[in-house]
Structure 1
Amino acid sequence: MNELPVDPEVARALALAGELRVVAGQLKRRLREQTFLGDLTWTQIRVLSRLDSDGPATVTGLARAEGIRPQSMGETVAVLKTAGLVCGAPDPSDGRQTVLSLTPACVEAIKSGRAAREDWLFHTIRSKLAPAEQEQLAAAVGLLKRLVEP
């Protein structure tokens, strides 16, 4: 069987993609270690994250955004309410619906978690990277931003 010659640029980009995926996963795990998430499930964390980034929402809106059934989202929200992380208020335009938002305690926990992750990153960068390497990292961050642009 004839093998096609491998384009070195394609091979290099493919290898880089694999390495970047692995390193991004490792970094994500290390950052997650810096914050106590308790016994929250991935879905519960996603709901809190969505409410934090997008603002208040209904159970139906959250379910649609997460691609799950409203009944399943209702169960998730009930656990978050019981934990004191989410509260609800009647929807001003439709009293049958409840608009959910993060409790002040949850907002504070999110802020403190972000601060802990940033603090870990700051100290790790300062202790493991020389000033020239920090400059390289700054340039790499700019490139990573370009990768995630729409």
Structure 2
Amino acid sequence: MDRPRTFDLDDANELRRAIGETIRAIRRSETTPEGQIEVLGFLARDGAFSIAALARLRRVRHQSMRVTVGDLEAQGLAHRSPDPADARGVLVSLTDAGRAMIDESRTRRSTRILTAAESALTPGERAVLARAAGVLDKLTVALEHDGQERSV
């Protein structure tokens, strides 16, 4: 009986490269700047944030995030409201139009992935992909846990 193949550094490098290429291929189909899509995603997933918190999440300067939030507001996709925990602060939230846009973007991206998988992959390869999200979620948790231990 064949033993399962081990996962080594070369495999980790290929996985990192493949994930990066896949993400870039999916992003290329978007007409909205990726920074705006990412901010909308944070707001949709986790609720309201301060501009400073959004800047930390995206790893950009506060000034840059203020511009991004201003652009989203001008498009009617986000709005600012007073922060009840900080009288001087504001929280950025999604509008209904912002929620619709991020939902549409997620559906469009997922549809592209499904269509590509159906046209390029065998049924067995698609079965592997069907299990991949759960495996990648576990990997993400381990990577985040490792990053938290190093920062302590």
Shorter-chain TM band:
0.7 to 0.9
Shift of 1:82: 1.8
Matched-pair contact (CA < 8 Å) for 1:34–1:113: no
Moved more, 116-125 or 89-98: 89-98
Residue 124 (structure 1) aligns with: 116
Q: Distance in 1 between matches of 2:57 and 2:42?
A: 9
Q: TM-score, normalised by structure 1?
A: 0.73
Say if 1:65 and 1:141 are closer, same or farther in 2 by CA, change over 3 A: closer
Aligned Cα root-mean-square deviation (Å): 2.7
Q: TM-score, normalised by structure 2?
A: 0.72
Structure 2 gaps of 5+ residues are 143-152
- The SS at the match of 1:34 is coil
Say if 1:98 and 1:139 are closer, same or farther in 2 by CA, change over 3 A: closer
Residue identity in the other structure for 1:36: T
Task: Find 1:54's aligned residue among 46, 61, 81.
Answer: 46
Say if 1:141 and 1:61 are closer, same or farther in 2 by CA, change over 3 A: closer
Q: 1:105-128 CA deviation, whole Å, 9 max, x = no partner?
A: 121111111111111111222222
Say if 1:82 and 1:144 are closer, same or farther in 2 by CA, change over 3 A: same
Residue 74 (structure 1) aligns with: 66
Identity %: 36
Say if 1:94 and 1:35 are closer, same or farther in 2 by CA, change over 3 A: same
Residue identity in the other structure for 1:33: R
Shift of 1:69: 4.8
Say if 1:134 and 1:41 are closer, same or farther in 2 by CA, change over 3 A: closer
